[in-house]
Structure 1
Amino acid sequence: MHVWKSAVAATALAAAATGGYAQEKITLSDLSWNGAQAIGHVLSAIIEGEMGGDAEIVSGMNQAAVIMAGMDKGDGSIDIYTDLWMPNQQALWDEYIDGNQTVATNQPYQGTSNIYVPSYMADKVSSIEDLKNPEIAAMFDTDGNGKGEYWAGDVTWASTKRWQIKFKSYGLDGLWEPNIVSADTFKAGLEAAYTAGKPQLFYYWTPEAIHVKYDLTALDEPERFDGCEDVNLDAEDWLEVSEFECVIAANEIFVAYSKSLENRNPAVAAMLSNVQFTGDEINGWIVEMFENKRDPREVAEEWIADNKEIVTAWIDG
């Protein structure tokens, strides 16, 4: 261990002496939500622009377990998980960050997770208790099977299981059923429904540009109490053995990266350890990149140019 650390230090000193950075290519995840993609564009712009390196957002690299296993191997197949939501990925954190200690993180930013309706529905639906009314559920039944529908998330997301557990724990699964589709499919349906003033019930999070585009209301949920969240997403019968009867605590959201970078590209590893985002910054990127349809690289480079002192501090430590 001491020999390896000494080698890392020597590499970093050599890079500093020559005014350059280690140039091994850096690979970033391609997660499916806008915040993660925006972070990927900003980090790759820093690596390629400010640091003179080579970076690639790996198309289709969007499965959490695959990303973490790749970073654990440290072979460069994937180096950076751009937006690790906790405690959604607790099992992977336990295995690779606390257990194998092959993956490191920066300091997190804060996010929230709630269940929403368009605000034009808020006079009828404002709390979880309202969802226990069969007449309310019937308003959200689009296929005539007697159950209202809510978007729980993408099939690949841990949060999708959590919302199903929450609806069961709240005693809502007799009246409601999850609609599990991709974020893009959901957002297309929401836009059509919102334009027509139709009911929609769905999970969403902050930061995200959807809150700029639409007027949304989060439903009131019970406050947190000891034992209100007892979840085992890895169990074969995860829905039956888990309980979740309270609002989700504020999420901590990290950039995670392979510790192998400390040897393979110590300058980038150091930069990633220093990165500190805010939700407002990320929301601004999302709006420009995905709502205003600007070129993501242009948005990233513009933000970097406007925040040189921050980025330089990340790079130089």
Structure 2
Amino acid sequence: MKTSRHLAAALAAAAALTLSAPAAHAAPAPASPWCASGKTVNFAGLNWESARFLTEVMRYVLEQGYGCKTDALPGTSIAMELALARNDIQVFAEEWIGRSTAWNDAAKAGKVMAVGDIIKDSSEGWYVPEYLVKGDARRGIKASAPGLRSVADLPKYKELFMDDEEPDKGRFLNCPSGWTCQGVNTQKLKAYGMGESYVNFRPGTGPALDAAIASAVQRGRPVLFYYWSPTAMMGRYKFIRLDEPAFSQACWETLTTPNNPHPCGTVNPPNRLRVGLSRAFHDADPALAALFEKMNVPVDLLNALLAEREARKLEAPALAVLFLKRQPAIWQAWMPAAVAAHISSTLK
């Protein structure tokens, strides 16, 4: 990602030159000690859609509201978490707390800090299209599984989700091989007594999983799959999440141990999505730490934004500006009024 400022910021700066009072658009004195010292705030250049969006929102706010220089350094999640622990980067926009050994070790060592709740009410689990259970009169689709509510119901619906290559079994669309969720779902198939009645189908990539789901939904076909939010997929279509047994830590440990011969089923633990900061940055800049502590984007809004990005082929910086223009009531609550007013002036 280039270090140049966002296009929207450049246009706003150019427009400021036409004002009779040049000071009207001058950046306020930085409230950030880190940025006032001339240091760059380096972000993790994360590669999933919600994290890319959040990173660009944060960069715009820091650049236009606090006079900061920012950059985003590309790398895998684990590499970025290790970089955060070394203070090579300062901000990890969407950290899934407790899912990474690299993060857990750095947190225990006091090298990183998790602040705020950047996305609340995110979810993951096993889903089916809503029309299977409720039908869709607009599309002329009758409910083919009106009694489907829970994973416990799935063995009797294997014919509905028939696998193309093994028609005597149903098909479950798992995560791609190599993803943590793939191993968990494989153990769940055993725990729910579906190991012999369903094919554990692993798409080669995330986009391949998306394509398989979207193709089935667009044709009004049955499909059973694992998925999560926030994502564009959840913003585009209506799905029903199947009930699973209440969370049990003991059972969760059997699901995260790939070779456990007797896994027991449980819903995934609640997600905690927070902003990760290097300890050095957190302690050096109380103003920006307080900003990140207050940041939150509602998950339903985020799903809809990501779906719009996909439909309109928007890049993450453009989507960030769109959000800031449309949703001032959300982001202005994160910061002092003077900072919010200056950011607003760049968005006109």
TM range (shorter): 0.7 to 0.9
Pairwise CA distance, 1:223: 2.7
Pairwise CA distance, 1:35: 1.9
User: What whole-Å deviation, never above 9, does each CA across 1:57-105 have from its counterpart, x for those lacking one?
Assistant: 334x2x33222111112223xx33222224433x3443111x1111111
Are 1:243 and 2:263 counterparts?
Answer: yes
C-alpha distance in 2, partners of 1:39/1:224?
A: 29
Q: Secondary structure at the match of 2:71?
A: strand
Are 1:119 and 2:130 counterparts?
Answer: yes
Tell me: CA distance 1:21–1:175, structure 2 relative to 1, closer, same or farther (3 Å).
farther
C-alpha distance in 1, partners of 2:82/2:283?
A: 18
Are 1:95 and 2:118 counterparts?
Answer: no
TM-score (norm 1): 0.77
Tell me: CA distance 1:17–1:218, structure 2 relative to 1, closer, same or farther (3 Å).
closer
Map 1:101-250 onto structure 2 (within 5 A): 101-108=110-117, 109-122=120-133, 123-124=144-145, 125-133=148-156, 136=158, 139-144=161-166, 147-176=169-198, 177-225=200-248, 227-231=250-254, 233=256, 238-240=258-260, 243-250=263-270
What CA RMSD, in Å, does the superposition of the two structures yield over aligned residues? 3.3
Tell me: CA distance 1:226–1:144, structure 2 relative to 1, closer, same or farther (3 Å).
closer
Tell me: CA distance 1:72–1:212, structure 2 relative to 1, closer, same or farther (3 Å).
closer
Tell me: CA distance 1:165–1:185, structure 2 relative to 1, closer, same or farther (3 Å).
same
Pairwise CA distance, 1:17: 9.5
Q: Is the 8 A contact 1:25 1:53 kept in 2?
A: yes
Aligned letter for 1:167? L
C-alpha distance in 2, partners of 1:55/1:73?
A: 18
Tell me: CA distance 1:310–1:220, structure 2 relative to 1, closer, same or farther (3 Å).
same
C-alpha distance in 1, partners of 2:111/2:239?
A: 40
Q: Is the 8 A contact 1:82 1:255 kept in 2?
A: yes
Pairwise CA distance, 1:147: 4.5
User: What whole-Å deviation, never above 9, does each CA across 1:176-228 have from its counterpart, x for those lacking one?
Assistant: 31414322221122222222222221112233332331121212222335733
TM-score (norm 2): 0.71
Partner of 1:5: none
Are 1:275 and 2:288 counterparts?
Answer: no
Residue identity (%): 19
Are 1:67 and 2:80 counterparts?
Answer: yes
User: What whole-Å deviation, never above 9, does each CA across 1:22-64 have from its counterpart, x for those lacking one?
Assistant: 44223333444322222122112212222222323334x2x33
Query: Which deviates the most, 284-293 or 159-168?
Result: 284-293
Q: Is the 8 A contact 2:95 2:274 kept in 1?
A: yes
C-alpha distance in 2, partners of 1:30/1:16?
A: 25
Q: Is the 8 A contact 1:24 1:265 kept in 2?
A: no
Bigger Rg, which one: 2
Partner of 1:288: 308
Structure 2, unmatched stretches of 5+, are 1-28, 134-143, 340-348
Tell me: CA distance 1:207–1:15, structure 2 relative to 1, closer, same or farther (3 Å).
closer
User: What whole-Å deviation, never above 9, does each CA across 1:138-185 have from its counterpart, x for those lacking one?
Assistant: 733133385433232244533332222222222222233141432222
Tell me: CA distance 1:291–1:22, structure 2 relative to 1, closer, same or farther (3 Å).
farther
Partner of 1:298: 318
